[in-house]
Amino acid sequence: MKVTVYPGALKGVVQVPASKSFAHRALICAALSQGESRIKCGAVSDDIRATCRAVTALGAKVEFDGDTFLVRGISGRVSEDVVIDCGESGSTLRFMLPVALTLCDGYVRFVGGGKLGLRPLDEYLKIFDAQGIYYRNNSGQSGLDLTVRGDLIADDFELEGNVSSQFISGLLLACPRLAYDSTITLSKPLESKDYVRITMDVMEKYGVTASYDPLERKFTVFGGQTFSARAYRSAPYVVEGDWSQAAFFLVARHLGHEVEVAGVTPLSVQGDRVIADMLGMLRAVSPERLLTLDVKNVPDIVPVLSVACALRKGGTHIINAGRLRIKECDRLAATAEGLKALGAKVKEGGEDMFFDGVDKLEGGVEIKNYHDHRMVMAFAVAATVCALPVTICGYESIDKSYPAFFEDLKKLGGKFEITED
């Protein structure tokens, strides 16, 4: 489907959805706990549904009532073979792979669509080779198809810190269930460290702890720990607002719209909270100076941040954005291509993007289908300040993370039209 977004002013207050990052982890921790507990997280995206399917396949029971999940934890090991449909959720895949190897006696087949089959898994496959865990990987352009079987055992794991933090989080979630203590040592400095902080924060809420020594770049996880959701049987675990989704409307305000964002936690451990600081820098730094923004730890905000960079007078340089090339699409190339079509002066190469600010964006074009939720929402924000309407393909991809995005845009006065391809 396509959505045509018309230029026009936005005004009002938007309540951002619950953090997808927190919700994934809370659902897994609740599923690994005994008994029933509740998680309040508002509307549900496709990625969160994928994690619900994953824990259900392993024996948890998950119900959704209004804005709250009721989760009954996994009661024992799974003896039969299991299929886990990850949809297009990289978080679900990388979190649940090691967790499943602490629970299952049979084969576990992970399937999924989109570009999930192209997401790197080498860090896990090296562990599987070392521990004699069986795997067969038939993944590729057509999607994810990975089968594993075996028992993850406590170990001194070694990972590269500059790979996806999801590998670290997956091991952190799995290792407390092992019989003995484990360590995770990083051979390179930790990137996207705030996502790991989220994992450790949620684990602690569910009674399980891990420690990190930044000097040695080493996590220590004691084995034999038990996840407990007892605290959330009467009052629910409340998932905080999502800074990465708030970024779309914070950029809209930066571009001149009278928009207020509600529901985010100012002192959150979410790394994407730096969007507010980065927008402040775009306003404060003299146009005569080249402004450099390092997005190593916050790649998800780059598509919409780029809209603001394109309209900043002077030059702006985004660095350390290479991880965007292995998302739902090559987001570096897609962002540059789309903004050029709107009239921006931007180029990308390697891990960087370069902007020579323009006074306005023209619009009047159709943006191709990148099958990427963040592309759709970023270009929708850009379209509101273009001279002419912009048609964006792949409208339905917003269901992956923020299904109510256009409903919220409409509440603010945004005008758009949805049509079939």
314: exposed, middle or buried (Cβ count in 10 Å: 0-12, 13-18, 19+): middle
Nearest-angstrom CA–CA distance, 11 and 407: 14
Is 347 annotated in a binding site? The answer is no
Is 151 annotated in a binding site? The answer is no
Is 166 annotated in a binding site? The answer is yes
Q: Output the six-digit token pair for 341.
A: 């079509």
For the beta sheet containing 82-85, the strands, ordered from the edge strand earlier in sequence to the opposite edge, are 82-85, 108-112, 144-149, 134-137
Q: Which residue in 47, 242, 272, 300 is the catalytic one?
A: 300
> Strands 108-112, 82-85: parallel, antiparallel or unpaired by DSSP?
parallel
Identify the DSSP state of 124.
H
Is 21 annotated in a binding site? The answer is yes
**What kind and span of H or E run contains 284?**
helix 275-284
Is 300 annotated in a binding site? The answer is yes
Measured distance between the N- and C-terminal CA atoms of the chain, rounded to whole angstroms: 5
Is 15 annotated in a binding site? The answer is no
Is 90 annotated in a binding site? The answer is yes
Q: Output the six-digit token pair for 15.
A: 């309540």
Nearest-angstrom CA–CA distance, 195 and 240: 14
DSSP output for 175-242: GGGSSS-EEEEESS--SSHHHHHHHHHHHHHTT---EEETTTTEEEE-SS-----GGGTTSPEEPPB-
Is 368 annotated in a binding site? The answer is no
Residue 107 to residues 97, 145, 396, Cα–Cα distance (Å): 12, 13, 33
Q: Other CB atoms closer than 10 Å to residue 375's CB: what's the count?
A: 28
Is 165 annotated in a binding site? The answer is yes
> Strands 390-393, 366-367: parallel, antiparallel or unpaired by DSSP?
parallel
The one-letter amino acid code at 120 reads P
Contacts for 65 with CB less than 8 Å, ≥ 6 apart? none
Is 374 annotated in a binding site? The answer is yes
* 300 given a catalytic annotation: yes
Is 218 annotated in a binding site? The answer is no
CB 11 within 8 A of CB 259: yes
Q: Output the six-digit token pair for 194.
A: 């705030």
Q: Output the six-digit token pair for 304.
A: 């919409």
Q: Is the dihedral of CA 260, 261, 262, 266 positive or negative?
A: negative
Is 25 annotated in a binding site? The answer is yes
Nearest-angstrom CA–CA distance, 307 and 336: 10
Which residues belong to the annotated binding site for 3-phosphoshikimate? Answer: 20-21, 25, 164-166, 192, 300, 327
By annotation, the residues acting in catalysis are 300
Which residues belong to the annotated binding site for phosphoenolpyruvate? Answer: 20, 90, 119, 166, 331, 374, 400
Which residues belong to the annotated binding site? Answer: 20-21, 25, 90, 119, 164-166, 192, 300, 327, 331, 374, 400
